[in-house]
Amino acid sequence: MPSSISLGSYSSAQIAGNAATAYLSLAAPERVEEYARLALAEMNEANSPWGRSLVMIDMARAHVLTDDADLDAATDIMLDALDPSRGTLMLQVQRRGSEFVRDATVRWGNTSELRMLRDMLTSVNTPDEQHG
């Protein structure tokens, strides 16, 4: 099992994805985009489907923070991130997706696009719910 104390056990995609998340917390959308693109270029859809989703959700949330924010672009990224072909939705993807919907609703109001995403997030069983 890799140690979380050392960066040596993390791939460059994981490090870039973590950097994107950190820059999102710092409200630095340009840096989120930069590191998300680096992470996505290294992540394989077959080996890391939900990892890709988490990075894409960070990208969508970064769109909410920009001065020239675009609801359609952000929701398109979210729809790709929540693609049901990836299988059962991870709880972390559901949480971050809900954070996107919350932030976007503050920015744009309760639009039909955001209601659709909210419905998608609440109607999916997570692995935790299937075993509990």
C-alpha closest to that of 114 among 76, 66, 59, 68: 76
**Can you give the residue ranges of every domain in the chain?**
11-131
For residue 1, name the pLDDT band (cuts at 50, 70, 90). Answer: very low
Residue 9 has pLDDT above 80, yes or no: no
Identify the burial level of 60 via C-beta atoms within 10 angstroms of its C-beta, where 0-12 means exposed, 13-18 middle and 19 or more buried: buried
Q: Model-level pTM?
A: 0.84
b/e code 105-130 from CB counts within 10 Å (16+ = b): beeeeeeebbeebbebbeebebeeee
Average pLDDT of the chain? 86
Provide mean pLDDT across the span 62-79: 94
Section 22-27 average pLDDT: 95
pLDDT bucket at 18, cuts 50 / 70 / 90? very high
